[in-house]
Structure 1
């Protein structure tokens, strides 16, 4: 992909996030699947409206979601609990930098500083056509679902315990996802292990790259790998790929993954290729 072609893709995705329904047909990729000539459609619910850090201006729970030209960063095909619980899709949408000088708000800045990415995951996802399964880099349209702020109230634990400190996992519940083409995936947002803790809420759903990661010990009974001395700190999960051979002191020079939350910050590598051993 030539650099000028990548720039045009990024510009077009930003215009789509702004709701520019009159954007002319634009060649966005080199794929022979008709996606290069697809007209940009307006998003009635841009991801920035779902990921607004201000609860007074964020869309309320239950809001129908109609979002266009989202880019798939991960798809959970691993049934790690052997109960058929799979199908979570992680998507991002590129938006302009805006007036904020905060590198994480309203959504995290890309490494080149030219745009931001807002991310979110889905729950109980439907696909159209039924046989479609998303791949990393796919552009998709999402409709029919509702915005949800899952906090585990009444459903997690015995007795049920909600997430602490009013935390929640933003997601789109029961959407239908349709293929809309392909495009180059933006570089992961570069963060530190501490950023995963401090800025977890802003990073949820976003593809990130973390350098110099060390395991505190082997995976726990839930398959999670602690990467800071703080037991409530960020953990690697094996939701999408098994991570064998981990012991105290195992080091990675680089890990790429999507960020999530479940009683604490999570980093989810998509495959073993996302983990670069140190040394």
Structure 2
């Protein structure tokens, strides 16, 4: 086992030396398996995959402006990863709490922030029991990096969304992104590789796709390879779940653009409001709601 000391809590986090998917990897379709996927070796290479400088340039200030538009001050980053968005938001003046289900990711995020002169407030938390492990109310929750697709059961997705909803202030917002799995399932995989995965000479592509699994392979310049098993969520399905949990005025952007053709984007970003527009509790039928 690999042993890593958590810089924020002094606890010891253990990860297996190799990723574990069982004898038949395409049969591994359990939400909880993410803990066996983000091993230290993979996490140590994650920043090669996203390339902080290139990613910052590609996404611009999209998330910062979205948060400022809704007068956000306090943000909960529930899929912190190696800390990219938490650090960017701290530097933009937001108050940020950084959560992740992977202790290896939190250790890396804390170190990355420290190297940039910041101290992250980190919490290890499973989204399905977020209120148990993270305290307080937030103006915004962000779940980025295609992270929501680690949930294989609808009950887990609904539970996580309900936890997000409960932790938001009455006028809070949720920002959640996902790959354009509609295009992958319907037309096959192609990627411009310019928005989320910006690293040079790093390849991220599906090794297996069906309606219940997107198994991605990540190849690095040193010839090492790692895998992630994810559920291929369709865009309108995610929007419907958000609405059924209670979110309102769900706007969907394609690769940070408000106007797009469905087949074009690599990623979708959903921005959902908790508050209702009208006093009778029924939101107006705006263009940005479910069905766009």
Which is richer in strand? 1
Which is richer in helix? 2
* TM-score, normalised with respect to structure 2: 0.26
* TM-score, normalised with respect to structure 1: 0.27
